[in-house]
Structure 1
């Protein structure tokens, strides 16, 4: 069977497309507004291209810092680098984006687009985003990005589409946005099924509840699997992601380091540890002395009492926040004796208080690589900054916003069978 072709909209760092690539789909174009995320997409496209051409040694040379990013990209055909489209999807930009996608389709002699995937930025629909917004996100233009998504369905007429977003979409605008989506997608010729899923059920070591909207052309009726009741046979405890990584102190770590233990069953089955003998981006952020004292209290409380730290229980000298009624769990341990962690979100780019490492001796928040593993990214997935120098903040933001590739692959495998 020839590969099925897809377009990735609002691509982010490529977690959703990574799952579809692993399932054997062929990316025609990725559209993403964030510059750093586009660099990440290009680097990952280099990985897949070089792997197909039996040249992974070149990619590994880049990861190990033997060659520069510019040298890595020099091995790629120009059409591949141009398939990463660094533009925001909007009325102003759509014609230019269409031209770039059409160039890819014509240049590669693609007969049809089988699938469109992606989900618009979710802050406008998220419950937390609405709680923190003065107007409950009612004036946020991101509320209507689904209209742009529908425009791409109309132009490229894929057999199916996969639209990912937050659970809050169900209640946003008292359900108005979701109802309008249904009507608009129907007008464009697509029926939909809405699935509430938890990444934990797909083998991801994280409680991450999301909406997956599966759409299909009205001219055929697929037998959509019940993703809400899916249960993977890949499961473990969160400690599986920590056992083979070097111990770090706050503010330490290397962009290239070596594993300290062999792989384990979970890392192998989930395709996280992929056979290389070195690890990248195992870097921890620095912390103040006060934060480290709070971390010690939080870890000790969990490890010895299985209790979460409430901010109000801290000694007065460690309390600096005036808000004592909401977000009282702002300091939280990634408990390695559970089967899933708390949800990794983009706020991890600002501080690591909600993601404290469970080892009290390390006394830090989790590293970039540990966050990526919780999200089920392969260890050879490299998160770029705009510049080639290490950009921990950009990496954390991309990881927090991503769809877990392990969940995406399982969905992709099912979609492949339907098409």
Structure 2
């Protein structure tokens, strides 16, 4: 079965579908770094089919240059479409996808997945914008999603978004979204799913709207919940300790994988540790981290900005965002939600180990999102954190993909 992935990001949603046997016809994404991540991941899957992961690890190690690596699979330039979806680009994207269908001797698309960027109607975004983002073009990207539905007539589609979409514009925006999707010839249903119900050790709520052709016997799949008693520390403990600013680009783990990592395919026996990269921190931040970790680990109390000693405070604003320092709770079953803001600073994602006094590394963030360790993110650290924070957790996507596969 095949699919098109729109607004693909780093590919968390599509990874879930690929892992149960779906084949990507095209990923459409405007961000250059995310597109490179998608290309690298495509090559990983192709090399794994051939039993040649040695070449993949040579690339990660730096023994093969990126241009050479990408030239081994020239089709990635067609499959990963690095374009912003707009009125001007939609016709050329359609042509590229039709060309892919022709080359693969396919007459139809089974599935379209993806979620238009959601900053425009996320709750924080609305709070900061006096115009309530009405003029923001990102509010209307769902209309392009509908154009793809009309053009390719997939049997089903998965439209993913933040819960804020339900209440944006006093609910009018979501009414519009539903109206357009139904108008394309689909029955639809939306539910709020939490990634923590599907094996991910992170609380993360997402609106998952699923549609199916009106004249079919399909329906909204019942996505089975996973019950487990693993803890966040099961995701972190086999990674070597780091000082702020320290990094392991290609190296070894400090211990065997936990049962959790092994069971959910996040770390396998042949994996190599990559992108265990921590950001630098100044002395003041580390002192604050120490207070935050001690408060949390010893008394389960979150430090408020107003509780800090005066000499550690640098902000005049002591009325809002008082929880700007937050420890990832290692002994809980779930961490708090990993969001794209992690690219700006790490204060909201402090590692629970008192001996390290740093925010979580790139690899730790990826694991909290349930990305496997063999998933490599392209671009500088900030761009990589953004890709991870914006992604749909692959384990959650896999649960949805499994049910859709059996329906189709």
User: For residues 159-199 of structure 1, what are the alpha-carbon distances to aligned partners after superposition, in whole Å with 9 as ceiling and x for unaligned?
Assistant: 00000000011101111111111111111101111011100
The reply to whether residue 408 of structure 1 matches residue 386 of structure 2 is: no
Alignment of 1:318-329 (within 5 A): 318-329=312-323
Q: 1:20 to 1:235 in 2, by over 3 A?
A: farther
In structure 2, list runs of 5 or more residues that go unmatched: none
User: For residues 39-62 of structure 1, what are the alpha-carbon distances to aligned partners after superposition, in whole Å with 9 as ceiling and x for unaligned?
Assistant: 000000000111122222211211
Q: Which residue of 203, 226, 229 maps to 1:232?
A: 226
Does structure 2 conserve the Cα–Cα contact (< 8 Å) formed by 1:234 and 1:266?
no
Does structure 2 conserve the Cα–Cα contact (< 8 Å) formed by 1:124 and 1:130?
yes
Q: Which residue of 39, 44, 49 maps to 2:41?
A: 44
Alignment of 1:120-159 (within 5 A): 120-159=116-155
SS across alignment from 2:244: coil
The reply to whether residue 376 of structure 1 matches residue 370 of structure 2 is: yes
Question: What is the CA–CA distance in structure 1 between the aligned matches of 2:286 and 2:344, rounded to whole Å?
Answer: 16
In structure 1, list runs of 5 or more residues that go unmatched: 386-390
The reply to whether residue 23 of structure 1 matches residue 17 of structure 2 is: no
Equivalent pairs counted in the alignment come to 408
User: For residues 215-247 of structure 1, what are the alpha-carbon distances to aligned partners after superposition, in whole Å with 9 as ceiling and x for unaligned?
Assistant: 0000113242334xx421455100011111010
Aligned to 1:54: 51
SS across alignment from 1:213: strand
Does structure 2 conserve the Cα–Cα contact (< 8 Å) formed by 1:202 and 1:234?
no
Q: Which residue of 252, 255, 266 maps to 2:249?
A: 255
SS across alignment from 2:83: coil
Q: Which residue of 332, 345, 353 maps to 1:338?
A: 332
Question: Normalised by the size of structure 2, how large is the TM-score?
Answer: 0.98
Aligned to 2:166: 170
Does structure 1 conserve the Cα–Cα contact (< 8 Å) formed by 2:110 and 2:154?
yes
SS across alignment from 2:130: coil
Q: How far 1:135 moved relative to its partner?
A: 2.1
Aligned to 2:352: 358
Question: Normalised by the size of structure 1, how large is the TM-score?
Answer: 0.95
For the aligned residue pairs, the C-alpha RMSD in angstroms reads 1.1
Question: What is the CA–CA distance in structure 2 between the aligned matches of 1:120 and 1:274, rounded to whole Å?
Answer: 33
Does structure 2 conserve the Cα–Cα contact (< 8 Å) formed by 1:200 and 1:207?
yes
Question: What is the CA–CA distance in structure 1 between the aligned matches of 2:269 and 2:209, rounded to whole Å?
Answer: 34
Alignment of 1:183-262 (within 5 A): 183-227=179-223, 230-262=224-256
SS across alignment from 2:161: strand
217-226 vs 291-300, greater mean Cα deviation: 217-226
SS across alignment from 2:120: coil
Aligned to 1:388: none
Q: How far 1:141 moved relative to its partner?
A: 1.0
SS across alignment from 2:151: helix
SS across alignment from 1:197: strand
Q: Which residue of 296, 306, 312 maps to 1:302?
A: 296
Q: Which residue of 94, 99, 104 maps to 1:103?
A: 99
Runs of 4+ in 1 over 3 A off after TM superposition: none
